[in-house]
Structure 1
């Protein structure tokens, strides 16, 4: 018959002491002498005893576990944020549960319910493209459970923290870069307009045009879920409808790469005919032909900062730190896709 895991009662029986004394010794209680602690710890090691940390944490009403909800782990930005999150969590003694919404609101809602049921101490979330409000996240706010947004966030969630980059400035820098390269008819491939990050990237796009005396043309703004096929279809739509463009600012690298594929297939030279800037600095953006100019989002740093903030909120219990916004500055990485001579 298979032997079960040793318990504190077995240790107590072997040492001929109370199980409550064993429990206090294992928890390093000051009510137990060092001599007794040494005896208990030695016997526990000999018998192969392992503390039930989950039960111990639940008694303290804490699981030392945080939930992380991301749209897609396959995206380099989100895998980078996870690396930053796990580095901080591991150092701080927290476990991490990672879940993917796959850009679906219903899936995100079910994930959040499961995390609540698993009694996580806090949650880090970058919402899906279908999420237009934070109603399903109100439980955390109402029950004083720390929640920190990173990258994508909900503006209707006052009293919550977020760690983001300056999306408006990033878009402004990208479009200004294209204008300085001689572009005057710049298309913008945007994500769903209900999400704050895409609202802000569109705002930056418009402001850059305004500041350089270029008339805004709504026909040049195409919204989608920003998959590669969407970038391909958006470029195709512009060109087949006879809408002339000499630049594209895409709200992510994946859709920009789709546009590159369509343009190359139709004998458009990049960047001479159409210069392109993406967003997020996916690894593939550096190795495609031509290499893609893009905005770096500092995913690893965002992950570290967001997790630091969440754990601080969990450990301090101070409501005043729950409403904090950290904004990182964007970085434009210039590559071949926009490296044209000024005035072409």
Structure 2
């Protein structure tokens, strides 16, 4: 039977007290640098890992962080998770990743499961279907540290990190206008998401700047974030069947962009120019082509994690919170 090495085993081998070994492993200031090095070098040599269950019982902390995103396969979220883990692991935390698939019920289950697993805090990007926030507000009121990224909940007093959605949408829409397009449709995510409102502001601002009237009939919302079968295609068909067919489309998210391009190809409308949000590394291979707004996903994940750990490790209740807005970059195809 496997028997893990304990602090007592290290103490016996190095002829030190268990309390000295424990303090050295924690980096205690009262232990000499020479003793710390001796203990840490030996711990590394035998691949010693402190028992997380014992540690959590002693310190009332699990050293684990919960992550709730709509879909790990989404390039943006996979990049953000890489950023989260890069900081979490460097600070001694493990991560537990869960997917909502943009469904409200799944998000509720995931949040409750993570809380019951006694995670020290949660980093979340809201599901497209989520309109009721009681499951998040309840945990927050109970003292569970929560940080939002990308799709944020404006009303909650906590740290948030997102990108400059207004600027990104403006640049993408203006690019389409400068390509000679005047009938620019907008394929949007669900209406209640923070990113939907912000990106629509940028879209409208670009139209206004170039004296193109905003038309509601050119906007289609995907209330399930494109997670429902044929949702994006049906939205695209309704746009393509308008009396005045769009000559360009501004798309508001990665998943919607993929669905949009697939629908244009299927319905032989490749002449329509598309620009939108996408963090794909192979965007130049898409057909039809896609000029894209890129978000600093990795950096967003890093900042969200640093924010969360600052709440977790604070000696006193945190009462001042920050919303960080990171810049986007626009990459035109031509």
Residue 24, structure 1, aligned to residue 19, structure 2: yes
Show the 5 A alignment for 1:257-276: 257-270=258-271, 274-276=272-274
Task: Provide the rounded CA distance (Å) in 1 between the counterparts of 2:186 and 2:161.
Answer: 25
Match of 2:173 in 1: 175
**CA displacement 1:252-289 (0-9 Å, x = unmatched):** 2332333333333444343xxx2110212223422112
Q: Is the 8 A contact 1:232 1:255 kept in 2?
A: no
Match of 1:252 in 2: 253
TM-score by length of 1: 0.82
- 1:72/1:261 Cα in 2 relative to 1: closer, same or farther (>3 Å)? closer
Task: Provide the rounded CA distance (Å) in 2 between the counterparts of 1:231 and 1:149.
Answer: 26
78-87 or 218-227, which deviates more: 218-227
Match of 1:204 in 2: 202
Q: Unaligned stretches of 5+ in structure 2?
A: none
Match of 2:77 in 1: 78
Q: Is the 8 A contact 2:169 2:203 kept in 1?
A: yes
Q: Is the 8 A contact 2:124 2:147 kept in 1?
A: yes
Query: Offset at 1:306?
Result: 0.8
**CA displacement 1:270-311 (0-9 Å, x = unmatched):** 3xxx21102122234221124310110111111111111111
RMSD of aligned alpha carbons: 3.2
Query: Offset at 1:96?
Result: 0.8
Residue 213, structure 1, aligned to residue 219, structure 2: no
Query: Offset at 1:111?
Result: 1.2
Match of 1:342 in 2: none
Task: Provide the rounded CA distance (Å) in 1 between the counterparts of 2:124 and 2:47.
Answer: 39
Return structure 1 stretches of 4+ with deviation > 6 angstroms.
6-12, 44-50
Query: Offset at 1:28?
Result: 3.0
Residue 150, structure 1, aligned to residue 149, structure 2: yes
For these two proteins, the number of residue pairs brought into alignment is 321
Structure number with bigger Rg: 1
Task: Provide the rounded CA distance (Å) in 2 between the counterparts of 1:5 and 1:153.
Answer: 42
Show the 5 A alignment for 1:229-308: 229-270=230-271, 274-308=272-306
Task: Provide the rounded CA distance (Å) in 1 between the counterparts of 2:115 and 2:322.
Answer: 23
TM-score by length of 2: 0.84
Q: Unaligned stretches of 5+ in structure 1?
A: 340-344
Query: Offset at 1:184?
Result: 0.8
Query: Offset at 1:132?
Result: 1.9
Task: Provide the rounded CA distance (Å) in 2 between the counterparts of 1:269 and 1:111.
Answer: 40
